[in-house]
Amino acid sequence: EAPGRSHNIPLDVQGTAFQEAVWRELRKIPEGETRSYADVAAAIGKPKAVRAVGSANGANNVAVLIPCHRVVRSDGTMGGYAYGLEIKQLLLEKEIK
């Protein structure tokens, strides 16, 4: 991808080891795609930690650089978003276009 994409920006964000693992995984989700909380939990080797993935998403303080808006529920519904579901939907729609 082109330089300047959010996953190429070096970030120095600090959290627990679990949060940082979740945030690294979120940065791997391609623009315009989504993953479920369960997908992220499995990808970091903690398949039973689905709720903890949601908590780590909520603790993300750089929401556009670490794209927590790309994580949805397993049934495809939006789930939560610190800035409101309308903004989450708008961010996803913008990426798909």
Cα dist. 55→1, 3, 18, 21, 97 in Å?
29, 30, 10, 13, 29
Question: What is this structure's pTM?
Answer: 0.84
Question: CB neighbours (10 Å) of residue 47?
Answer: 11
Catalytic residue among 26, 49, 68, 72: 68
pLDDT of 94 strictly over 80: yes
Q: Hey, where are the domains in the chain? A: 6-96
Which residues, in sequence order, are CB contacts of 25 under 8 Å at separation 6+?
40, 43, 44
CA–CA separation, 50 and 13 (whole Å): 22
Question: What is the CATH T-level fold of the domain 6-96, as seen in this structure?
Answer: Arc Repressor Mutant, subunit A (1.10.10)
Which residues have a Cβ under 8 Å from the Cβ of 30 and sit 6 or more positions away? Answer: none
Reply yes or no on whether 96 is catalytic. no
Do 62 and 56 form a contact (C-beta atoms < 8 A)?
no
Work out the average pLDDT over 16-20.
93
Question: 70-91 pLDDT, tens per residue?
Answer: 999 999 999 989 889 999 999 9
Confidence of residue 14 (pLDDT cuts 50, 70, 90): confident
Residue 17 has pLDDT above 70, yes or no: yes
Q: What is the pLDDT of residues 25-72, one digit of tens each?
A: 999 999 999 999 999 999 999 999 999 999 999 998 888 789 999 999
Q: Are 89 and 72 spatial neighbours (Cβ–Cβ below 8 Å)?
A: no
